[in-house]
């Protein structure tokens, strides 16, 4: 057998590090932590969180209250179950609670510290975040409306002609919209699917790498100092970062060439390039900023549309009400457009209810306490993971007495307009976009896309439950879902998309013919 003295010393060092780390965490455990369920020795509560933890956290809320704690093999985790707790900490004390936990493989190696969503709360994050906000704030988002109108027409046409593959149409439509927003691309076709899969792969690798236990280096950071020849995981991760960086740089270079030629469309990448010196961004930071925004927006939008279809299948009366409101404003001679944006409060309320009823990010992204803190008599140690239980907050019975029902009218006032003062602690009516300095920067863009997609779908199509071979309706489950790591969506179910009228088909064909990419 070969003998490697240096490797033997490394193993002893790692064993000592494991012991010291465990003893350190054990000694720092305090009875002043928020209450929580009892765990097992050493591993704590890990085995209690194997699947769909937002359901578990919400059940525990009744026993342990608005803030509770877990022990994940010595790593403290704080769960915020109420709007008040989340706002008091994530908003009012955002200086302490805007950081992310360190993810060596997912954030540092695979993304080179360039993934703004997973990045530590540092100067780079602030520069990149300001650039995104400048490009996607509520005013800037309006310049993407022509693109969103065209994509909505394409989506409805695909649903009409190939209804069985509705989930795939949602994915392609969301990807096309976000790529158009990020890079000014023309609407994508099936031939572009490999490119979309390539970009989605970046997100999927990061999510898998961030899962607890995926890489030992997250538990023992000293392993990050291993040379690449000794660490296959590190070698492969760095190679992916190189490839992904080249991909994003290539996309950004194409936009730069279009700007120079004078034929650039409004897009996030062009805005970043035009303001690169203002925000002091390097070429690599600019490339990753535009690229990662696609990954953040595509899956969330398509998943939210799946929630919408689930709701329409289960609540046909709500669908008929929405269609009546659309017809009153739009008529039957044309499709909805953004000139109708302020005239369709019921559709705005429906978007809010889609995001509230089944939030596609039920636990948001974890924060990390930058320093020790006290809240309501409880001690929150420095380095604790802080999770906002969006699922529980969006279903708080004190705010939504019938929280499990899909009822858009809850967001309307007596005059039928959107109630802008629905809740003092929730100006949006839900908390799906997050809190504080880490709130989703693309929320205005996402709201616009969902509004236009939903309005156009309901103008043109009916959504009904599918039937089995005996003609019995196939009722989809409210709770069956697919957990893809960060984004959660309803489990696939059959349903029927049918044209509301023959005139709708003719109008769609005309709109599709007019909706040429050169028009935006």
Distance in angstroms (rounded) separating the CA atoms of residues 123 and 165: 44
Q: For the residues 147-154, what does the mean pLDDT come to?
A: 95
Residue 80: how many other CB atoms lie within 10 Å: 29
Q: Is the pLDDT of residue 4 over 70?
A: no
Q: For the residues 320-325, what does the mean pLDDT come to?
A: 98
pTM of the model: 0.90
What pLDDT score was predicted for residue 412? 95
Q: Is the Cβ–Cβ distance between 57 and 389 less than 8 Å?
A: yes
What pLDDT score was predicted for residue 5? 44
pLDDT band at 11 (very low <50, low <70, confident <90, very high): very low
Distance in angstroms (rounded) separating the CA atoms of residues 38 and 44: 8
Q: For the residues 497-514, what does the mean pLDDT come to?
A: 84
What pLDDT score was predicted for residue 517? 35
What pLDDT score was predicted for residue 425? 64
What pLDDT score was predicted for residue 354? 98
Two tokens at 35?
A: 């209450």
Element (H, E) at 369: none
Under DSSP, the state recorded for 248 is: H
What pLDDT score was predicted for residue 111? 92
First-to-final CA distance of the chain: 68
Beta bridge partner(s), residue 5: none
Burial class (CB in 10 A: 0-12, 13-18, 19+), 339: exposed
Q: If you count them, how many residues does the chain have? A: 520
What pLDDT score was predicted for residue 193? 79
Q: What are phi and psi of 369, to 5 degrees?
A: -70, 120
Residue 503: how many other CB atoms lie within 10 Å: 12
Distance in angstroms (rounded) separating the CA atoms of residues 105 and 196: 23
**CA proximity to 230, closest of 474, 475, 4:** 4
pLDDT in tens, 352-375: 999 999 999 999 989 999 999 999
Reported as half-sphere exposure (CB side, CA atoms, 13 A), residue 403 has a value of 16
Distance in angstroms (rounded) separating the CA atoms of residues 454 and 159: 12
pLDDT in tens, 293-306: 877 778 899 999 99
Q: Is the Cβ–Cβ distance between 100 and 368 less than 8 Å?
A: yes
Q: For the residues 511-520, what does the mean pLDDT come to?
A: 49
Two tokens at 500?
A: 């509301």
pLDDT in tens, 403-424: 999 999 999 999 999 987 777 6
pLDDT in tens, 22-42: 555 554 555 699 999 998 988
Q: Sign of dihedral through CA atoms 418, 422, 428, 429? A: negative
pLDDT band at 6 (very low <50, low <70, confident <90, very high): very low
What pLDDT score was predicted for residue 133? 92
What pLDDT score was predicted for residue 199? 82
pLDDT > 70 in the chain, percent: 92
Phi-psi region of 335 (alpha: psi -120 to 50; beta: other; left: phi over 0): beta
Q: Is the pLDDT of residue 115 over 60?
A: yes
Q: For the residues 310-318, what does the mean pLDDT come to?
A: 98
pLDDT in tens, 74-108: 889 999 999 999 999 999 999 999 999 999 999 99
Task: Write the CATH number of the domain with boundaries 5-519.
Answer: 1.10.630.10
Q: Is the pLDDT of residue 50 over 90?
A: no
Element (H, E) at 31: none
What pLDDT score was predicted for residue 122? 94
Residue 319: how many other CB atoms lie within 10 Å: 21
What pLDDT score was predicted for residue 7? 40
What pLDDT score was predicted for residue 264? 87
What residues does each domain of the chain span? Answer: 5-519
pLDDT > 90 in the chain, percent: 71
What pLDDT score was predicted for residue 190? 78
> Does 456 belong to an annotated binding site?
no
Q: Is the pLDDT of residue 514 over 70?
A: no
**Scanning the structure block, which residue is given the tokens 């929580």?**
36
Q: For the residues 477-502, what does the mean pLDDT come to?
A: 91
Q: Is the pLDDT of residue 460 over 90?
A: yes
pLDDT band at 2 (very low <50, low <70, confident <90, very high): very low
Distance in angstroms (rounded) separating the CA atoms of residues 484 and 472: 31
Residues with Cβ within 8 Å of 230's Cβ and at least 6 positions away in sequence, in order, are none
Mean per-residue pLDDT of the chain: 89
Q: Is the pLDDT of residue 246 over 90?
A: yes
pLDDT in tens, 202-235: 888 888 888 767 788 887 889 989 999 999 999 9
Written as one string, the DSSP assignment of 42-61 is: TTBTGGGGSS-HHHHHHHHH
**CA proximity to 88, closest of 378, 384, 518:** 378
Burial class (CB in 10 A: 0-12, 13-18, 19+), 398: exposed
Q: What is the dihedral of CA 35, 40, 45, 47, to 10 degrees?
A: -150
Residues 219-231 as b or e (16 or more Cβ within 10 Å = b):
bbeebeeeeeeeb
Written as one string, the DSSP assignment of 147-209 is: HHHHHHHHHHHHHHH-GGGHHHHHHHHHHHHHHHHHH-PPPP-GGGHHHHHHHHHHHHHHHHH
Q: Is the pLDDT of residue 65 over 80?
A: yes
pLDDT band at 3 (very low <50, low <70, confident <90, very high): very low
SS3 percent helix, strand, coil of the chain, rounded to 5, is 55, 10, 35
CA angle (492, 497, 502) in 5-degree steps: 170
Distances (CA, A) of 99 to 75, 194, 273, 371, 437: 16, 34, 27, 10, 10
């Amino acid at each position: 057998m070969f003998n490697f003295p240096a490797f033997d010393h490394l193993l002893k060092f790692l064993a000592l590090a494991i012991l010291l780390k465990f003893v350190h965490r054990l000694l720092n455990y305090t009875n002043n932590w928020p209450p929580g369920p009892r765990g097992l020795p050493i591993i704590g509560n890990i085995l209690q969180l194997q699947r769909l933890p937002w359901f578990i956290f919400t059940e525990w809320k009744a026993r342990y209250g608005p803030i509770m704690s877990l022990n994940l093999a010595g790593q403290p985790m704080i769960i915020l179950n109420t709007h008040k707790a989340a706002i008091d900490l994530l908003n009012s004390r955002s200086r302490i609670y805007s950081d992310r936990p360190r993810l060596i493989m997912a954030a540092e190696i695979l993304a080179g510290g360039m993934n703004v969503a997973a990045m530590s709360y540092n100067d780079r994050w602030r520069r990149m975040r300001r650039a995104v906000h400048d490009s996607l704030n509520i005013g800037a988002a309006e310049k993407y409306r022509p693109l969103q109108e065209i994509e909505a027409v394409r989506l409805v046409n695909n649903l009409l002609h190939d209804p069985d593959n509705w989930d795939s149409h949602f994915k392609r439509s969301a990807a096309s919209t976000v790529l158009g927003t990020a890079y000014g691309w023309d609407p994508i076709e099936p031939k572009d699917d490999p490119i979309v899969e390539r970009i989605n792969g970046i997100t999927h690798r990061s999510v898998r790498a961030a899962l607890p236990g995926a890489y030992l280096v997250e538990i023992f950071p000293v392993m990050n100092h291993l040379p690449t020849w000794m660490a296959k995981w590190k070698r492969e991760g760095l190679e992916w970062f190189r490839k992904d960086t080249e991909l994003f740089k290539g996309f950004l270079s194409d936009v730069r060439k279009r700007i120079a030629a004078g034929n650039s469309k409004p897009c996030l990448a062009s805005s970043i390039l035009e303001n690169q010196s203002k925000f002091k961004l390097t070429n690599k930071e600019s490339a990753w900023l535009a690229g990662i925004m696609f990954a953040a927006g595509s899956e969330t939008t398509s998943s939210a549309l799946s929630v919408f279809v689930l709701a329409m299948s289960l609540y046909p009366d709500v669908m008929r009400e929405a269609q009546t409101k659309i017809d009153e404003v739009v008529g039957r001679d044309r499709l909805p457009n953004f000139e109708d944006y302020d005239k369709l409060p019921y559709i705005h309320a429906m978007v809010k209810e889609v995001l509230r009823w089944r939030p596609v990010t039920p636990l948001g992204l974890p924060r990390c306490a930058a320093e020790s803190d006290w809240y309501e008599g409880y001690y929150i140690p420095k380095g604790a993971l802080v999770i906002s239980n969006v699922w529980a907050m969006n279903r708080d019975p004190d705010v939504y007495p019938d929280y499990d029902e899909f009822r858009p009218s809850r967001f309307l006032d007596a005059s039928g307009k959107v109630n802008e003062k629905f809740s003092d602690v929730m100006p949006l009516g839900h908390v799906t976009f997050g809190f504080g300095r880490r709130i989703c920067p693309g929320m205005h863009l996402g709201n616009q896309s969902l509004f236009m997609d939903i309005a156009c779908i309901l103008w043109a199509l009916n959504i009904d439950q599918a039937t089995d071979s005996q003609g019995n309706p196939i009722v989809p489950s409210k709770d069956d879902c697919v957990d893809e790591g960060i984004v959660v969506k309803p489990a696939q179910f059959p349903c029927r998309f049918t044209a509301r009228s023959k005139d709708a088909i003719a109008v769609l064909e005309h709109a599709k013919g007019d909706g040429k990419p050169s028009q935006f």
